[in-house]
Structures are given as structure tokens and as C-alpha cells.
Structure 1
């Protein structure tokens, strides 16, 4: 296995979670810019955050502000786990 392939097997999720301005879908796609909508949903399900996202106004298309003040810290952390997946 090459070093590049080996590194692709790992993701980093920091304790101090941060998200980008944009939609939840855009935030999750940042971990893999080529990810399809289906892959994003599968990652969210794997992180146990899909149900939460679907209950938000706009679901995966909900806009996040710069400080993500519209969701809790725990919810931010789950989204960053999904982004890493």
C-alpha cells in the first residue's frame, strides 16, 4: 500500500468542531469534494446525524452561519465526524 493510499484511510476530527459558511451538504462534501449526495447521506447515517439533519429547516440544504450558532456543539461535532467519513 502506498503512503497516499494509507493516508486516505484516516480522518481527523478535532474536539473543537468548526464548520464552514454554507449548507450542511457543502460542509459534509468538503471532506471529499467528489462525493455524491448519496455518499454524503451514507456518511451522515454512519455518524448517526442523518435523522438530526432531516429534522432541520431545509435539511441538508440548511445554511450554516460563520459560527454555526444555529446548532449545538455536540451537533457540530457529529457533523464533523460525518465530514471525516
Structure 2
């Protein structure tokens, strides 16, 4: 699988996790929802930034895709930390 495809798969998964996080915060109540809303918006902004990077680098070398994938993994880790915080 190409690096570009791996990044696209990570982006798809990241979007699903953000959507799941939004749904879980709504169900958790207003206090949690208010606290998590800022984090969710930051995650959405990170995801959009990564998508923009992918569009801008589509013609770049494989090395750039490796770098983008690393950033995507960091964003996914942020979502996992947010979900852990939500359910503590």
C-alpha cells in the first residue's frame, strides 16, 4: 500500500473518531460537553490542516507522505487521549 493511501486511511479513521467523540460528549452531559467542545474543535482543525497538506503534497515524494502519516498518527493519538479523558 502506498504512503498516500495509508495517510488517506488514517484521515478517514480520524474523521470517524472525531465524530464518535462528538456523539459521546453529547451523551455525557453538558459539563463534559462544554469541556470537550474546545478539544473537539482543535482536533477538527488539525484534521483539516492535514487534509490540506495532503492536497498540497500529492505530487511530492514518498518521504513527504511518511512525514504526513506521522502527523496523522499524532492527531489520532490526541483523539484517543481525549476519549480517555472523557471516560475517566
Give the TM-score taking structure 1 as reference length. 0.31
Considering only CA atoms, is the larger Rg found in Structure 1 or Structure 2? Answer: 2
- The structure that is strand-richer by fraction is 1
- The structure that is helix-richer by fraction is 2
